[in-house]
Amino acid sequence: MAATSTSSITELGGKYVLDRNCTGANGATANVTGGAGSIFMVQINNEANSTASYLKIRDNAAATPATTAANGAGTPHFSFKAPAYKKITYAIPGGAAFTAGLSMWCVTGTAVGDQVNASSAVIVKLICS
């Protein structure tokens, strides 16, 4: 479950998204931003897992992760890797615009239809406008 705050936290963005257990097999955490904006920072904490995790984000308020390798409605627009036992932060200078809202999920593979959850919680933080 994601929690969203709309208070102004930085000069870049006013929305802070925190998902303490990002998963893929149970579906995407839908519309974590509540609408259009830009994404400026992504942090993935994968310190509890012995395999890499991939955060996948789709510009869609009601996204459902794809269950096959074919591109289609569940194909992510963004994908970020967190190596095993690491916390990594990605900065997006100037931001990446989205129009519908962000839905996100985390899995252990790079393939479009991967549905395998990490063995332990993956914590995701976003800063958006």
The DSSP secondary structure of 46-80, one letter per residue, reads -TT-SS-EEEEEEE-TT----SSSS-STT--SEEE
Cα–Cα distance for residue pair 1/76, rounded to 1 Å: 19
For residue 17, the Cα-to-chain-centroid distance in whole angstroms is 10
The predicted-structure confidence for 48-68, as pLDDT tens digits, reads as follows 999 999 999 999 998 888 878
Q: What is the DSSP letter of 27?
A: -
More confident residue, 103 or 67: 103
Contacts with 72 (C-beta within 8 Å, 6 or more apart), sequence order: 66
Mean pLDDT over the full length of the chain: 88
- Between 15 and 25, whose confidence is greater? 15
The structure's pTM equals: 0.88
pLDDT, residue 5, reads: 43
CB 82 within 8 A of CB 90: no
Residue 12 predicted with pLDDT over 90: no
